[in-house]
Every structure is written in structure tokens, then in C-alpha cells.
């Protein structure tokens, strides 16, 4: 029997073949995962009940969400407290589907994407906070 390759990342171990892709790609791209395949990376954004967001980025060539952009409330129990944006990263291990240089390039590009996202989220939160201050003055 011919071994199937993941059509998304090229991994040879699919895990559950009924998904039609490997388990790692399925984690991002399952219909309920709301992930996006961007070519050099995959990402998914979760929005929590208090409105803060968390983006998990898997650069092509990596196993897992190596880069995260996350929002956190300064005081998690106060819904009016300021929201800070953070970026974190770790290797998480490579999946061997790209050569080492292309793997590094994909990580670099994904990091740029994460930084742009973080700046966009931070600017949006600043705008929202300024609007809240203006609304408070009117009351
Ligand atoms: Zn895959």
C-alpha cells in the first residue's frame, strides 16, 4: 500500500487518515478550528468570552504553534482594565518537511507576521481605550 503524504505540509505520518491531512494540520484547519493556511504559515485566532484574543502561528516546517500573539488584561477580573499585547515564541521542533534554511526563513517570516499582528492589535486597543476616555468625559 502506498503511503499517503499530508497534502498541506508534506508530512508522511498522517495520524488519522480520515481527515485527509496530518493531525497537526488538522488542528489548525479543521472546520471548527477556524485556522487559515497562509502558505508559509498557518494560524488560528481564539477570542475568549472577555474579548481578549490569542493567535497561534505554526510556521511551515514546524510541528506546533511556535509563535503566539496574545492579549491579556492588566487585571483579569476587571473587564475595564487595560489590555496588553504580548508575543512569545519557542522552537517546538521542526517536522522535517523543509530544508533547514527554508525552515528558518519560514520562522523569520512568521515572526514578522506576528509582529505586524501585535502592532495592529495594540493600536486598535489604544484607539478603543481613547474612545472610552472620551465617552467617560461626555457622561
Ligand atoms: Zn500536515
Measured in Å, residue 21 CA sits from the centre of ligand 1 at: 5
For 16-25, the pLDDT digits (tens) are 888 889 888 9
Measured in Å, residue 104 CA sits from the centre of ligand 1 at: 18
Measured in Å, residue 7 CA sits from the centre of ligand 1 at: 7
Measured in Å, residue 5 CA sits from the centre of ligand 1 at: 8
- Rounded Cα distance between 100 and 139, Å, is 58
Measured in Å, residue 61 CA sits from the centre of ligand 1 at: 9
C-beta separation of 16 from 22 below 8 A: no
Measured in Å, residue 45 CA sits from the centre of ligand 1 at: 19
What percent of the chain is modeled with pLDDT above 90?
A: 55
Bigger pLDDT: 77 or 107? 107
- Global pTM reads 0.86
Q: What is the DSSP string of 88-113?
A: EE----B-SSS-HHHHHHHHHHHHHH
Where exactly are the structural domains of the chain? Answer: 34-138
Amino acid at each position: 500500500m502506498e503511503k499517503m503524504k499530508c497534502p498541506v505540509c508534506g508530512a508522511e505520518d498522517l495520524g488519522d487518515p480520515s481527515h485527509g491531512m496530518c493531525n497537526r494540520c488538522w488542528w489548525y484547519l479543521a472546520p471548527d478550528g477556524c485556522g487559515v493556511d497562509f502558505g508559509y504559515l498557518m494560524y488560528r485566532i481564539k477570542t475568549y468570552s472577555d474579548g481578549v484574543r490569542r493567535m497561534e502561528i505554526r510556521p511551515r516546517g514546524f510541528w506546533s504553534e511556535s509563535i503566539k500573539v496574545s492579549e491579556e488584561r492588566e487585571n483579569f477580573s476587571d473587564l475595564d482594565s487595560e489590555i496588553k499585547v504580548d508575543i512569545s515564541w519557542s522552537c517546538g521542533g521542526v517536522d522535517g518537511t523543509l530544508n533547514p534554511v527554508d525552515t528558518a526563513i519560514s520562522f523569520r517570516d512568521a515572526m514578522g507576521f506576528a509582529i505586524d499582528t501585535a502592532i495592529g492589535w495594540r493600536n486598535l486597543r489604544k484607539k478603543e481605550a481613547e474612545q472610552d476616555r472620551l465617552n467617560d468625559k461626555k457622561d
